[in-house]
Structure 1
């Protein structure tokens, strides 16, 4: 799905002098935690037969788009394998793009975001620029801006961005699922 940023600025959250706890450095072998995988699976859903998403991109499994053909069918085990491959690709993108220490929930939220919008969108985003300037709350407030696909605000993307933002800030993201 092609997701774009537009619309009004998100309502700011008061900035605090400290960042969320559990601040651990990124590592090249870092993997998405269980909360991040749960968030991704919840929003992507599982589809064992190829379909076109909201903007016409052929998709299968848990949101896999690479190499998907019309009429293609896969098993649940194949969907899990595709998810693992996709996660690895986006985890690597986060490890390369983020230049500051982040905790596991922040990493997982960024993987979910990048899984949905793509690594190129992340790399050019204000969210990443703010994060790399150590503006944690400014970065968090960028998530809600990415709630459009095909030029339209989508309720599912709004919920997903709110869930990612909550996870990023160490809050309960499950209320948005």
Structure 2
């Protein structure tokens, strides 16, 4: 993650004085702009889509090429039932079978909702494409973007602290899961790329 301190120190040295609040805000905005971290229309990038698909997988392929719903492997009661690219919800139940096209179409619909929810949670906070992609992957898996400390830290511009928060979301039914540890590590790594 980029440290802004050397930039501020150099400009302070060139000017021969400190900054007032307005100047700090303008310099921060200039750095954000240079890094491409403007709050723009939010869309899931290729890296985010690939990360989500990698971890969600299109699991439980049947011999006929279709996919069947399966219980959550980490929860004690098997809920929620899942199908395709990690699709869950009240309409997903035991015994469901979908084609690849149905799995893909549901993923596309689910992603729109998750992208909108992450964008709403972030508001106008400066966010790089990689950060946004990592946060959408996190939210797609946890549904927690609105209550996670990492969201609050991100919005405050405390990116290194926000990045460290990913590693806390590795539990399912109170047990740490190796798959969640690995996924969160990849999300954190993507988040940290500018």
Is TM more than 0.5 here?
A: yes
- Structure 2 residue aligned with 1:49: 68
Matches within 5 A, 1:113-124: 113-118=138-143, 121-124=144-147
Larger strand proportion of the pair:
1
SS at match of 1:123: coil
Instruction: State which of 102, 116, 122 in structure 2 corresponds to 1:92.
Output: 116
If asked which structure has higher relative contact order (CA below 8 Å, sep 6+), I would say 1
TM-score where L is the length of structure 2: 0.74
Matches within 5 A, 1:134-173: 134-170=157-193
Q: Distance in 2 between matches of 1:124 and 1:62?
A: 24
Aligned residue pair count: 154
- Structure 1 residue aligned with 2:98: 74
- Structure 2 residue aligned with 1:107: 132
TM-score where L is the length of structure 1: 0.81
Matches within 5 A, 1:5-84: 16-17=3-4, 21-27=35-41, 30-47=42-59, 48-53=67-72, 54-55=74-75, 56=78, 57-66=80-89, 67-84=91-108
Larger Rg: 2
Q: Distance in 2 between matches of 1:79 and 1:115?
A: 15
Larger helix proportion of the pair:
2
Q: Which runs of 4+ in 1 moved over 4 A?
A: none
